Amino acid sequence: MDRYDVLVVGAGPAGLAAARAANESGASVAMVDDNPAPGGQIWRGTSPALPKAKVLCGARVVAAPTAGRLTLETFDSDFDVAYGALVIATGARERFLPFPGWTLPHVMGAGGLQALAKSGMPVTGKRIVVAGSGPLLLAVADYLRRHGASVALVVEQAEQAAVMRFGLRLAQHPGKLVQAMRLRAGIRYLTGCWPVSAEPGAVTLRRGARTWTERCDYLACGFGLVPNTELPMLLGCGTSVDDFQQTAAPGIYAAGEVTGIGGLDLSLVEGEIAGLAAAGQRDRARRLFAARERHRRFADALERAFALRPELKALATDDTFVCRCEDVTLGRVRRCAGWREAKLHTRCGMGPCQGRVCGAAVEFLLGWKQESVRPPLFPARIGSLSGERE
Amino acid sequence: MKITVNGRPVDVPEGAMVSAAVSLAGITAFRRSVTGEPRGPLCGMGICFECRVTVDGRAHVRSCQVPCRPGMEVRTDG
């Protein structure tokens, strides 16, 4: 079994920054990522220079058999890796909210459609409505437009005033302001507007008293991001970190969006601090605290501006599927006392995604939080978990 | 690069994922849900499992996470 001083899970911006900092501090470093190439969702295989580290891509963590060891599975193999220190940089996923028609094949995530397009799915000539919440919507619209799609409009659930306040805040970060203005130019952008249903080849939108239907080949719809906390939950270390990005478990660090949604700049500095600290370079890590603080204030403003409005809780009806893996309706879930009962009685959250999609939706709709995670973290082959390897 | 989707040849660009090949084959329903609904990719990043297909006989492969390889045989059940 291979052993590394520092093992980094997640090769997005935070993970890459951590791996680079740890490697430059003299530690032996490996990075694990479920995706076929490093870079995370934002860079997707086109990240700037890679750090000198062993890169295990197309590999997902399925279990943590003993302390200091993770079990990984790839398309056609499984193996264990041992570590001295661990940096969890598992990033975030999109929050999807259920509404009638959200399971139709033309409805995808906003970041989801962008990721699929980056993976080679053709969008040229497609008429697309981008909907949901957060600055990602404009970035997605801009990407799709530059790749030949016709972006009919972008609809943001937050009110104009909140988005404007956030825009003014961007003025303190001139680089971000320029980026936002460039993205916004020439795109029809409606605030205080959200999808109420999707129909084959269309979406029905509401803004104030007006409800209307827009034809679209794709509806790209995501309501902000939620951290991927399954691994820290499995390890029992949580996602609260100290100044050095160390979790409640000594030697286990967390950096980037897994600790809270904060964007690229915050992820980079958190990753660097975690990588330095994991390699024993605390004094060097300390020099980055002020920069991290600045980026954290930006993250707080982001969260306030794009807070989800309560009207979105009324979009799903009792007949709407909440759990797409097991096709469980909101009506059935609502009748349960909590997550545990819902899992046992309806199989909500028990399918292949293991609650990664319905978990955030149920938390928003019913206020239930998933309390525990069990191995395997992802559906795995029996052989990967039997321990008979080496 | 040439692969097949449900037995039909599809030309895919270098670096494309299996999800792209299925779309290029004109398929929108990648699978059927447990109640028989047509489903396609949602998250594009390996989280949601909605884009599952069979690749070279291996079932339940997330098509958005697997790069195409020449001669690959992909099947959808949508």
Chain A residues whose CB is inside 8 A of the B35 CB are: 327
Q: How far is CA A124 from CA A128, A148, A218, in A?
A: 10, 4, 12
Nearest CB among B19, B43, B49 relative to A352 is that of B49
- End of a domain among A301, A336, A361? A301
Q: What is the dihedral of CA A48, A49, A54, A57, to 10 degrees?
A: 20
The total of structural domains in chain B comes to 1
Q: What is the dihedral of CA A50, A55, A61, A67, to 10 degrees?
A: -100
Contact call for A324 and B61, based on CB within 8 A: no
- End of a domain among A255, A272, A301? A301
Are A206 and A254 in a shared domain? no
Residue of B36, B30, B33 lying closest to B17 (CA atoms) = B30
Indicate whether A22 pLDDT > 70. Answer: yes
- Residue found under tokens 């052993």: A3
Are A315 and A388 in a shared domain? yes
Are A251 and A175 in a shared domain? no
The total of structural domains in chain A comes to 3
Residue of A93, A62, A35, A79 lying closest to B67 (CA atoms) = A35
- For A257, which DSSP code? G
Contact call for A116 and B34, based on CB within 8 A: no
Give the pLDDT confidence score for residue A387 in this predicted structure: 66
Average pLDDT of chain B, as a whole number: 96
Q: Between A263-278 and A13-24, two packed helices, what is the crossing angle to 10 degrees?
A: 30
Give the pLDDT confidence score for residue A50 in this predicted structure: 86
CA–CA gap between residue A134 and residue A263 (Å, rounded): 11
Residue span of the structural domain in which B71 resides: 2-75
Give the pLDDT confidence score for residue A385 in this predicted structure: 83
Instruction: Give the ranges where A306-376 is alpha helix by DSSP (H).
Output: 330-334, 339-346, 358-366
Q: Is A256 or A374 the better-scoring residue by pLDDT?
A: A256
CA–CA gap between residue B32 and residue A49 (Å, rounded): 41
Residue of A195, A256, A352 lying closest to A18 (CA atoms) = A256
Tokens of A302: 């982001």
Residue span of the structural domain in which A114 resides: 96-223
Are A108 and A83 in a shared domain? no
Indicate whether A184 pLDDT > 80. Answer: no
Contact call for B23 and A324, based on CB within 8 A: no
Claim: this prediction has a pTM higher than 0.90: yes
Indicate whether A168 pLDDT > 60. Answer: yes
Average pLDDT over residues A213-231: 97
Are A318 and A381 in a shared domain? yes
Chain B 20-39, residues with CB within 8 Å of chain A CB atoms: 20-21, 23-24, 28-30, 33-35, 37-39
ipTM: 0.97
Are A106 and A202 in a shared domain? yes
Q: Is A27 or A171 the better-scoring residue by pLDDT?
A: A27
Give the pLDDT confidence score for residue A123 in this predicted structure: 97
Number of Cβ pairs < 8 A linking chain A and chain B:
115
Chain B residues whose CB is inside 8 A of the A356 CB are: 47-48
Contact call for B44 and A112, based on CB within 8 A: yes
3-state secondary structure of A33: strand
Indicate whether A69 pLDDT > 90. Answer: yes
B59 interface with A at CB cutoff 8 Å: no
Chain A residues whose CB is inside 8 A of the B48 CB are: 96, 324, 353, 356-357
Instruction: Give the ranges where chain A is alpha helix by DSSP (H).
Output: 13-24, 40-43, 110-118, 136-146, 160-170, 174-184, 230-235, 263-278, 282-286, 289-305, 330-334, 339-346, 358-366, 382-385
Tokens of B28: 């929108």
Contact call for A36 and B37, based on CB within 8 A: no
Are A110 and A218 in a shared domain? yes
CATH classification of the domain holding B37: 3.10.20.30
User: What residues have CB less than 8 Å from A185, skipping those under 6 apart?
Assistant: none
Query: Which residue from A minimizes the CA distance to B43?
Result: A112
Are A217 and A114 in a shared domain? yes
CATH classification of the domain holding A170: 3.50.50.60
Chain A nearest C-alpha distance from B15 (Å):
7
Q: To probe the interface with B, which of A60, A73, A119 has the most B CB atoms within 10 Å?
A: A119
CA–CA gap between residue A360 and residue A368 (Å, rounded): 9
Are A324 and A368 in a shared domain? yes
Per-residue burial over A43-67, b if 16 or more Cβ lie within 10 Å, else e, is bbbebeeebebebbbbbbbbbbeee
Nearest CB among A105, A111, A353 relative to B49 is that of A353
Contact A329, A100 (CB under 8 A): no
Chain B nearest C-alpha distance from A252 (Å):
24
Average pLDDT over residues A352-374: 93
How much of chain B, in percent, has pLDDT values that exceed 70? Answer: 99
What DSSP string describes B19-30? HHHHHHTT----
List residues in chain A touching B: CB distance below 8 A: 34-36, 41, 45, 58, 60, 75, 93-94, 96, 103-109, 111-116, 119-122, 228, 324-327, 351-353, 356-357, 379
- End of a domain among A189, A223, A257? A223
Are A319 and A263 in a shared domain? no
Are A188 and A238 in a shared domain? no
Give the pLDDT confidence score for residue A379 in this predicted structure: 87
Q: How far is CA A327 from CA A315, A319, A322, B33, in A?
A: 17, 10, 7, 7
Contact call for B42 and A112, based on CB within 8 A: yes
Contact call for B19 and A353, based on CB within 8 A: no
Indicate whether A172 pLDDT > 80. Answer: no
Contact call for A120 and B16, based on CB within 8 A: yes
CA–CA gap between residue A193 and residue A263 (Å, rounded): 24
Are A201 and A129 in a shared domain? yes
The amino acid that residue A145 corresponds to is: R
Chain B nearest C-alpha distance from A360 (Å):
12
